[in-house]
Amino acid sequence: MNRTNIFLGIGVIVSILIYGLLDPQEFPFPKCPFRSITGWMCPGCGSQRAIHQLLHGQFGAAFQLNALLIPAFVYALAGYSFSLFSGKYWPAIRKRWYGSRAAWASLIIILAFWLGRNLWHI
């Protein structure tokens, strides 16, 4: 295991502790600068509260706060897991599911979510 993975693991554990123990509704977490300036929600708005809800097993509440967070988390976790455990199969998996086409598809999904939640209140 290299240093990057060790530091990433420590960061994830610390983040889980912070978001699990401190309620973003009550604790003064930073506000979204984009929403403060424009009044529009960015694709990440609601993520802090959604992570807190996920860590307490409230999947429905988390989904209502940010519907994109759960699928994005599963996608990122799957990619990280594949990179660690799939060995010789990782290059093919990465090219198909995490390559440039996937990046463009992700961008389109994020933009559609962003517009949908602001224009049609999805």
- In sequence order, which ranges of 22-120 are alpha helices (DSSP H)? 33-38, 47-55, 59-65, 69-85, 90-97, 100-119
How many separate domains does the chain show? 1
> Is residue 1 very low, low, confident or very high in pLDDT (cuts 50, 70, 90)?
low
Residue 54 lies in domain: 3-119
Q: What is the pTM of this model?
A: 0.81
Helix (H, G, I), strand (E, B) or coil at 107: helix
Give the up-direction half-sphere exposure of residue 10: CA atoms within 13 A in the CB hemisphere: 6
| pLDDT tens-digit series, residues 31-86 | 899 999 999 999 999 999 999 999 999 999 999 999 999 999 999 999 888 887 87
